[in-house]
Amino acid sequence: MDRKFSGKRLLLAAAAAVAAIVLIVLLSLWTHDLQQRDLENAVKVALQGIVMNEGDRALFEAAGIPVDEIHYSYEDLPLFSGDKGAWEYSETDRRAISLYRSAAPSVVQILPSSDLSGNGDGAGVILSSDGYIVTNSHVAPSSTASYTVKFYDGSTSDAVLVGTDPLSDIALLKTGKGGLSAIDVAPSSSVMTGESVYAIGHPYGYGWSLSAGIVSGTDRIVSSSSAVIPSMIQTDAAINPGNSGGPLLSENGMMIGLVSSIHTQTGTSDGVAFAIPSERVLDSVGELIDTGAVHRGWIDLLSVELNSAIAEYAGLPVSEGILVSQVVPGGNADKAGIHGGNQATQYGQSVIYIGGDVITAINGEPISGYKDYFASLFDTDPGDKVTLSLIRDGMPMTIDVVLIERTAENSGWIAR
């Protein structure tokens, strides 16, 4: 009997011990959970304090993650869309989606009024809410006075040609439709080679298509059958027939250039395309609105961009500037006393003449090559007088010359 009683007491004691152990474990877990919650709340408060006092970037830096820039331009993107979360899009994807949604309504399709196909000849960009639309002069030539413009929402409107600047491949249209979505324009002077760019246009009639690429180069001189255009932006974004006149956009969705041409051996995109810088576009548009035409000054001479090889061959004391190969007999440059060369020399596919003057500055602005030469004459008018700084026979001198009007023909009087 005593043994049974002792066994029961032993079992009860063991059960009590187990219960005590379980209770201690549960209390320990509960205490740990409370401590964990307190720790999490403390961390949460600390992180909120960093964001409120120092900003989002400080939060990343506190985590050891370097951040150069944070963008907040995707408020219109849902966190979840159907079965796919927006978090599944990369940063590049979200940026492209956002800028397309912002810029596409500012892009139009341009058709001659007599065209019934609906495919259009190219694109255009809405510059103002009251109906000014810029495009290329090869899309809207001066030979056609009226056009039909198709908008992003599918509506159409008649438009008249305000004027063209064929030497810059720019044309300006005006539609009577108001309340339009104007593009945001950014200066192209800060554009850097390597930065991402986007183009919106209508390649082969596929309306409002987006293509992406990078800036492949800047300050390119592009020659065509009708013009020589300086300071062009080069890109590898896919540009095909139908993209002409559309915008070249920065990562922020702002227009930095107007798509103009491609260099191709096939008639389609070979990854070498060019856009007119936004500053040049706005300059031409301003003159077209004011006068309906653009007039620029020019010097009537055949020029060569100087380089070290030419300078060494010709025994020149400078290796930068514009070499005067020939002047137009009886022209303004000839009358001013500018000297052309007298020794014919093969230069690539051209024949140039060395021994003439070297232009080193125009109106005091240094001229190192064609970029400076074109830029210095860009804002001049026919009839203006400019002062040329020259090197002749190794000696510096200055000569004043009256400018003629730049035309498609004489703007091609350059050897490259």
Whether 198 is covered by a domain: the verdict is yes
pLDDT the model gives residue 80: 43
- Do 287 and 332 lie in one domain? The reply is no
In a domain, 78, yes or no: no
Examine the domain organization and report whether 210 and 321 are in the same domain: no
Residue 52: pLDDT band by 50, 70, 90 thresholds? confident
pLDDT at 307 (0 to 100): 93
Does 87 map to a domain?
Answer: no
- Helix, strand, coil percentages in the chain from 3-state DSSP, rounded to 5: 30, 35, 40
Residues 352 and 289 in one domain: no
- How many domains does one find in the chain? 3
Which of 273, 276, 127 is CA-nearest to residue 214? 273
Which domain covers residue 362, as residue numbers?
A: 297-415
Q: How confident is the model at residue 225 (pLDDT cuts 50, 70, 90)?
A: low
Q: Where are the alpha helices (DSSP H) in 55-209?
A: 56-62, 91-103
Neighbours of 101 (CB within 10 A): 13
Catalytic residue among 137, 168, 188, 244: 244
Q: Tell me the CA end-to-end span of the chain in Å, nearest whole number.
A: 121
- The single residue of 98, 102, 106, 138 carrying the catalytic annotation is 138
pLDDT at 322: 96
Quote the DSSP letter at residue 79.
Answer: S
39: DSSP letter: H
For residue 204, the one-letter residue type is: Y
- Considering only 90-99, 207-216, 233-242, 272-281, which range has the smallest mean pLDDT? 90-99
CA distance 337 to 357: 10
In this structure, the answer to whether residues 54 and 168 fall within a common structural domain is no
- Over 60: is that where the pLDDT of 120 sits? no
Q: What is the pLDDT of residues 141-185, one digit of tens each?
A: 888 888 999 999 999 999 999 999 998 999 999 999 999 999 999
Contacts of 131 (CB under 8 A, 6+ apart): 159, 174, 175, 176, 177, 178, 180
Q: Which residue has the higher pLDDT, 314 or 3?
A: 314
Cα 327 from Cα 340, distance rounded (Å): 6
Over 90: is that where the pLDDT of 221 sits?
no
- Verify that 351 and 302 share a domain, yes or no: yes
Residue with tokens 């599944």: 88
Burial classification of residue 71, based on how many CB atoms lie within 10 Å of its CB (0-12 exposed, 13-18 middle, 19 or more buried): exposed
Euclidean distance between CA atoms 94 and 90, whole angstroms: 6
Residues 282 and 333 in one domain: no
Q: How confident is the model at residue 31 (pLDDT cuts 50, 70, 90)?
A: confident
Tell me the pLDDT of the chain averaged across its residues. Answer: 86
364 is a domain residue = yes
Query: Is residue 241 one of the residues assigned to a domain?
Result: yes
Domain assignment present for residue 290? The answer is: yes
* Separation between Cα atoms, residue 411 and residue 317, nearest integer Å: 27
Q: Indicate if 19 and 142 belong to the same structural domain.
A: no
Classify 313 as helix, strand or coil: helix
Give the CATH number, domain containing residue 337. 2.30.42.10
Q: What is the pLDDT of residue 355?
A: 95
- The sign of the dihedral angle between the CA atoms of 217, 108, 227, 281 is negative
When pLDDT is cut at 50, 70 and 90, the band that residue 379 belongs to is confident
**According to the model, what pLDDT value does residue 67 have?**
63
Look at residues 278, 294, 310 and tell me which one is the last residue of a structural domain. 294
Can you spell out the DSSP letters for 370-384?
A: HHHHHHHHHT--TT-
Q: 142 in a domain, yes or no?
A: yes
Instruction: Tell me if residue 169 is catalytic.
Output: yes
Residue 85 in domain:
no
pLDDT in tens, 279-307: 999 999 999 999 999 999 999 999 999 99
For residue 410, CA distances in Å to 85, 136, 206, 242 come to 58, 21, 38, 29
Question: Both 48 and 112 in a single domain?
Answer: no
Active-site hit among 121, 169, 300, 357: 169
Residues 215, 237: contact at Cβ < 8 Å?
A: no
72 pLDDT above the threshold of 60: no
pLDDT band for 82, please (50, 70, 90 cuts).
very low
Band of residue 13 on the pLDDT scale cut at 50, 70, 90: low
Residues 225 and 348 in one domain: no
Task: Give the residue from 270, 294, 318 where a domain finishes.
Answer: 294
**Mean pLDDT within 193-221:** 95
- Looking at residue 143, its pLDDT comes to 82
Residues 377 and 256 placed together within one structural domain of the fold: no
- Give whole-number Cα distances, 32 to 23, 27, 347, in Å: 14, 8, 85
Other CB atoms within a 10 A radius of the CB of residue 211 amount to 21
Whose tokens are 């930065």? That residue is 195
Give the predicted TM-score (pTM) of the model.
Answer: 0.72
Structure tokens given for 66 = 């370097």
Question: Does 189 lie in the same domain as 284?
Answer: yes
Q: Are residues 230 and 125 in the same domain?
A: yes
DSSP state letter for 160: E
Which residue type occupies 319? S
The enclosing domain of 238 has a CATH number of: 2.40.10.120
